[in-house]
Amino acid sequence: MSQEKPTKEIQCESCGNTFLGEAVVSMLGSPPREWWPWECPTCEEKHKLEVERGHQEYLVQARPEERKLMAAAEWGCPMV
């Protein structure tokens, strides 16, 4: 009754560890397509965090840049 999900041992492209990956099967179209993960869940999680952190870093970086511009405007204020 229950559909068996195809699983196989996959070598993680990031850390090289082998892990049991579960394919995502699309039943749309024929033949059905299978997508296999290329990273172990640990690396996947790590990348997700990196993306989030990268976004935050971008936001943090934008602020000093603004500050620099403000400082430049102050310093560049003509004294004549």
Distance of closest approach, residue 43 Cβ to Zn ion, in angstroms: 3
Stretch that binds Zn ion, among 5-13, 29-37, 54-62, 71-79 (CB under 5 A): 5-13
Q: What is d(CA 52, CA 58) in angstroms, rounded to the nearest whole number?
A: 10
Please select the residue that binds Zn ion; options are 6, 7, 11, 15, rule is CB under 5 A: 15
Question: Is residue 10 close enough to count as binding Zn ion by CB under 5 A?
Answer: no
Task: Centre a 10 Å sphere on the Cβ of residue 43 and count the other Cβ atoms it contains.
Answer: 18
Burial class (CB in 10 A: 0-12, 13-18, 19+), 28: exposed
Question: Is residue 43 close enough to count as binding Zn ion by CB under 5 A?
Answer: yes
Positions in the binding site for Zn ion (CB under 5 A): 12, 14-15, 40, 43
